[in-house]
């Protein structure tokens, strides 16, 4: 294990195997190790409450990371997810508090406050896709535009003010339970299963992988590359929107400055830790879910043991670099 950095010729051949092993089982091993560590060190780890806290917090990361997995599979990246969460999370309360639409019926307002924000951020996702496909702008730059402007739009819409609300019907997506399971956890499971089936069993799923694997070849075989790419940005936008709704519903408040802040990194980290190559051509949804759990568990472990939040940031940064490094080694 300690030989990984030595450059003796005999060990050089062993290196890729080590990386491949880590790439395949590393995430799962890290997850198990984290759980074991917490069982020994963290007080009260084995409780329903701990499980509850971690599941509800990981749900939004998983939902956004699934969209990110699809984008990354095409060889792209979506830095705008956090800002899109802020937009959806800002618009929804404005709708059900009756600030934008002259509708009296509360039921319809609630329904619209689920649908319209998500449609709105899907439009922003489409905009990302257009920049990437029609204007051939690199995904990092194209989505950087909304990364900064998107949060600005949410802040301008509320003038930076906090929106506080109490609306049990709307907040069902975060507070509600179906058969004892938190609603957001159910949404998380549905999203992950659908995405997994999309990648495995549908034409567009295979096309996503093909585009990321070799774009030129994909185009020559008749795959509508532009449409496939635009599609993944729209999906990523939609999932970010859903996550934004969950976050504000959970907090009973919407703060455009904070909703989804730093989510792009959590999502990218989940994808990288989960074993999808950041250069595209692979989409491992199960890995991404596991990656999100590892990231959540790392954060929980640090916080539960009194490590300051700021130090947790540094640990996360290191985790991202190591995970990406291992993926690239495994491929080489």
Give CA–CA dist 324/120, Å, rounded: 33
Angle of CA points 81, 275, 62, to nearest 5° = 40
Give CA–CA dist 230/232, Å, rounded: 6
Q: Quick one: which of 32, 106, 156, 197 contacts other proteins (CB under 8 A)? A: 156
Tell me how crowded residue 63 is: count the other CB atoms within 10 A of its CB: 29
Q: Tell me the per-residue interface mask from 95 to 134 with other proteins, x by CB under 8 A, - otherwise.
A: ------------------------------------x---
Q: Which is nearer to other proteins, 21 or 325 (CB)?
A: 325
Q: Is 215 helix (H, G, I), strand (E, B) or coil?
A: helix
Q: Tell me the per-residue interface mask from 290 to 309 with other proteins, x by CB under 8 A, - otherwise.
A: ------------------xx
Judge whether 113 and 93 are in contact, CB under 8 Å: yes
CB proximity list for 287: less than 8 A, separation 6 or greater? 27, 273, 274, 275, 276
CB proximity list for 273: less than 8 A, separation 6 or greater? 27, 30, 287, 290, 291, 294, 295, 319, 320, 323
Our finding on whether 144 is near other proteins (CB under 8 A) is yes
Q: Quick one: which of 13, 135, 201, 216 contacts other proteins (CB under 8 A)? A: 135
Q: Choose one: 43-51, 146-154, 175-183, 217-225; the region binding other proteins (CB under 8 A).
A: 146-154
Q: Tell me the per-residue interface mask from 216 to 255 with other proteins, x by CB under 8 A, - otherwise.
A: ----------------------------------------
Q: Choose one: 38-46, 104-112, 218-226, 310-318; the region binding other proteins (CB under 8 A).
A: 310-318
Burial class for 258, CB neighbours closer than 10 Å (0-12, 13-18, 19+): middle
Our finding on whether 258 is near other proteins (CB under 8 A) is no
Q: Quick one: which of 4, 123, 141, 164 contacts other proteins (CB under 8 A)? A: 141
CB of 81 to other proteins, least distance (A): 13
Conformational region of residue 116, where left means phi above 0, alpha means psi within -120 to 50, and beta covers everything else: alpha
Residues that bind other proteins (CB under 8 A): 77, 131, 135-138, 140-142, 144-153, 155-156, 159-160, 262, 265, 268, 272, 278-279, 308-314, 316-318, 320-321, 324-325, 328
């Amino acid at each position: 294990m300690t030989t990984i950095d030595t450059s003796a010729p005999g060990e050089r051949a062993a290196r890729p195997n080590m990386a491949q092993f880590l790439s395949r089982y590393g995430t799962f091993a890290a997850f198990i190790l984290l759980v074991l560590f917490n069982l020994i060190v963290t007080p009260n780890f084995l409780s329903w409450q701990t499980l509850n806290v971690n599941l509800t917090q990981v749900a939004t990361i998983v939902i956004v990371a699934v969209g990110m997995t699809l984008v990354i599979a095409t060889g792209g990246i979506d830095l705008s997810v956090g800002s899109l969460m802020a937009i959806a999370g800002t618009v929804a309360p404005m709708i059900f508090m009756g600030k934008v639409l002259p509708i009296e019926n509360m039921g319809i307002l609630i329904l619209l406050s689920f649908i319209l924000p998500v449609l709105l951020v899907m439009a922003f996702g489409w905009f990302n896709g257009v920049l990437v496909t029609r204007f051939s702008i690199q995904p990092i730059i194209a989505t950087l535009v909304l990364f900064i402007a998107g949060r600005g739009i949410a802040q301008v819409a509320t003038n930076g003010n906090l929106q506080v609300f109490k609306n049990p019907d709307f907040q069902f997506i975060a507070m509600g339970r179906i058969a004892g399971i938190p609603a957001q956890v159910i949404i998380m499971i549905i999203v992950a299963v659908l995405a997994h089936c999309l990648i495995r069993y549908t034409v567009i799923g295979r096309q996503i992988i093909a585009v990321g694997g070799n774009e030129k070849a994909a185009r020559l075989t008749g795959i509508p590359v532009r449409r496939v790419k635009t599609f993944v940005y729209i999906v990523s936008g939609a999932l970010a929107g859903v996550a934004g709704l969950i976050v504000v519903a959970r907090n009973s408040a919407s703060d455009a400055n904070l909703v989804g802040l730093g989510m792009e990194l959590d999502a990218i980290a989940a994808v990288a830790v989960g074993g999808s190559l950041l250069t595209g051509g692979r989409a491992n949804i199960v890995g991404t879910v596991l990656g999100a759990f590892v990231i959540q568990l790392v954060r929980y472990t640090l916080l539960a043991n009194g490590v300051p939040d700021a130090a947790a940031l540094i640990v996360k940064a290191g985790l991202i670099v190591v995970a990406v490094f291992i993926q690239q080694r495994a491929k080489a």
